[in-house]
Amino acid sequence: MLQLRGTLTALATPFRQDGSIDWASLRRLVEFQIAAGVEGLVPAGSTGESATLDFQEKCELIARVVEWAAGRVPVIAGTGTNDTRTTVALTREAQRLGADAALVVCPYYNKPTQQGLYEHFRAVAEAVELPIVLYNVPGRTAVNMTAETQLRLAEECPTIVATKEASGNLEQVMEILRSAPPHFAVLAGDDSLALPIIACGGAGVVSVIANYAPKLFGECIRAALEGRWERARELHYRLFPLMRLNFIESNPIPVKAVLAMMGLIEEVYRLPLTPLQPQHRALLEHAVREAGLLEHVSA
């Protein structure tokens, strides 16, 4: 069974000015990630603006990232929606297209009960052979999947292999870590909490900041996993201001702004997301320069 560990980048989705997906820039971003040594790629997640991608766009996005990754790193496809039938259909497509696993977010807007969450994820797991990563992000879904529900799924569904825990609740994360079965990995869903979660037994992180700092952040996570805590803390605090600024406006607005500063993508969003406000852009660019990530860009 697939074991997920290290830095898995939640890929941004580049767009052209006409709103279509910029495939050339996406391929460049994929190569940038792999060259920097990340341990996995996550297309069509929250950072990839999945809420504004239609079914066919998601399928093509997954197919192309799988093709370009070419087995060098696992591809964990974002397939979760607020509808169980659609989630099952997209997860089946991800399996057919060669993804290594599926990242399935808690259904948003519906506000299901814990039993509803259990039934949703069980239905997805039973419909495919693909390994499943739970994605708990109550700040976006309006519902928190409790440690009890996540552990129940991990125990009863052997193809549910990990959780991306973005509740921000370290006590909940520790409860999962304390009782998780051996096959079930806990991945941080917040870059700023990756270090403490790994210290408590986590296996890595699904990362936003790795879009533009894959080498530095990847080294931070590897150092932590290897018990080299002084180096891990050094890199964590070097990048910590950026971890916070990545959410000064809704993700992925700041991340795409930085990628554009680096010349990797055009800074284009799909409504209802809009470009970064000027006062925030100045703060972000200063922090990126302080971290040494824009040394090749003219002032």
User: Phi, psi at residue 225, to the nearest 5°?
Assistant: -65, -25
Q: Cα–Cα distance between 6 and 244 in angstroms, integer?
A: 21
Report which DSSP code applies to 202: -
Q: Cα–Cα distance between 288 and 239 in angstroms, integer?
A: 9
Q: Cα–Cα distance between 127 and 142 in angstroms, integer?
A: 26
Q: Which of 118, 135, 212, 269 is catalytic?
A: 135
164 is catalytic: yes
User: What is the helix (H) or strand (E) element at residue 214, kind and residue range?
Assistant: helix 214-225
Q: Which of 58, 118, 164, 212 is catalytic?
A: 164
Residues in Cβ contact with 88 at an 8 Å cutoff, skipping those fewer than 6 apart: 123, 124, 127, 128
111 is catalytic: no
Catalytic residues: 135, 164
